Amino acid sequence: MRFATYELGGRIATGVVHADRVHQIDESVQSLLDGGLDRALEIGSRALGGPSTDLSEVSLRAPLQPRTIRDFVAFEEHVEGVRRSMSGEGGVGGGGVGEAWYEAPRFYFTNPYTVTGSGSTISPPAACRELDFELEVAAVIGRSGSSVSVEEAGNHIFGYTIFNDWSARDVQRREMQVGLGPAKGKDFASTLGPWIVTADEFTDRRDRDGFLELSCSVDVNGERAGHDSLANMGWSFDSLVAYASRDSWVHPGDVLGSGTMGNGGCLAELWGRRGEKSPPPLHHGDIVTMTVEGIGTLTNTVGESRRVPVVPPARIVDHARVRSERITE
C-alpha cells in the first residue's frame, strides 16, 4: 500500500495511492506510523472504497515530516569513489575504503527540517559551486524499540521511500577538514517520496539474507547518470535498524537512509573514478529523476540559491595575553 501526503485546493491531506488515484484518509501519516503497520493497512483498505482524486490534480509533498534522519553509508562502491573525490583540493578521504567502514554500518544525523517532496525546487547553498544528488532508499520506522536484534528489526519497519540526500560537495569538502563530518554541505535539502510503500509489498523481493532486490536509477535531464541494485548494500535494512537502536532508540517517524548507491549513484563517485568533474556539477534548471523498482519516481528541479546573512570568520585570540590578564586580575 502507498501512503502519500499531498496538497489539493490549498489543503494538506493524507491519502492512499492506487491506480493513479489518491483516496483521502482523515489522519496524518505520523498518526498512521504511531498506530503501527497493521492498523494503517486496515485504514487504507477502508479508504480505497471511498471518493478519490486523480494524482494529476494534486501536488505531492514529502510523505512525512521525519522525527530524525539517520543516513548510513552502506554501499562500498560509493565509499571508494567518493573518498577519492573528497581527497582533492585540500579535502579529506584518500583512496580505497577505510577498515572502519567494514566494522559496522556508519551513519550521520541530517536535518529533518529541510525535507521536501517530489516536484519541489531545490535551492543550493549560496556558496555552492558543486551541487550533487545522492540516490538512496530510506526505511521509515513504525514501531519503537531499543537495542533491537537483527532478527526482530524487520518488525519495526513500516515501509520504504526514495531519498535524495542533496550535497554541496565543495562546501562539504572544506567543513569536513574540521573532523566533525558534513554539516552545511548537507543540511540545506533532502527529498523524500513520492510516497511510503508499506513493507509487506516487498516480502517477495527479499533474498535469503534479507536484502531487497530492487533496481534503482537516476537521470539528469533525461540522461542516465547511475544505476544499481539495492541488494548491493553491505548491510540489510534490518541490520541498519538494529545498529541505529543500539544503546539508543528508534521511534515511529524516524528515517534510516541506505546511503548512496554505487555505479553513479552520485556525481562525486564518478568524479573520483575519472579524475575530473565529468559529468559536471548540477546547475540551475537541471532536472534530477530517481526511480526505484516497487516504489516509484522522485523528480526535483535545481533552482537558484537564496541570499543569506554573512557570518564572519573566527576572530584571532591572543591566548597568552588573555591568560596573563586573568592572572593579573
Burial grade of 147 (CB within 10 A; 0-12, 13-18, 19 or more): exposed
| pLDDT at residue 91, as a whole number | 47
Confidence bin at 114 (pLDDT 50/70/90): very high
Residue carrying the nine cell digits 540545506: 188
CA Rg, the chain, in Å?
Answer: 21
Instruction: Give, in degrees to the nearest 5, the angle at Cα 110 between 109 and 112.
Output: 120
Average pLDDT over residues 191-220: 97
Average pLDDT over residues 250-266: 97
Q: Are 167 and 184 in contact (CB under 8 A)?
A: no
Q: What value does the mean pLDDT of the chain take?
A: 94
Q: How far apart are CA 143 and CA 236, in angstroms?
A: 18
| pLDDT at residue 320, as a whole number | 77
pTM: 0.94
What is the maximum span of the chain, computed from C-alpha positions, in angstroms?
81
Q: Is the peptide bond before 194 cis (omega within 30 degrees of 0)?
A: yes
For residue range 36-64, list pLDDT tens digits in order: 999 999 999 999 999 999 999 999 999 99
Domain coordinates in residue numbering, the chain: 2-60, 69-302
Please provide the CATH number assigned to the domain covering 69-302: 3.90.850.10
- Grid cell in block for residue 326: 586573568
Q: Is the pLDDT of residue 259 over 80?
A: yes
Q: Is the pLDDT of residue 22 over 90?
A: yes
| pLDDT at residue 90, as a whole number | 44
91-95, 98-102, 136-140, 165-169: range with lowest mean pLDDT? 91-95
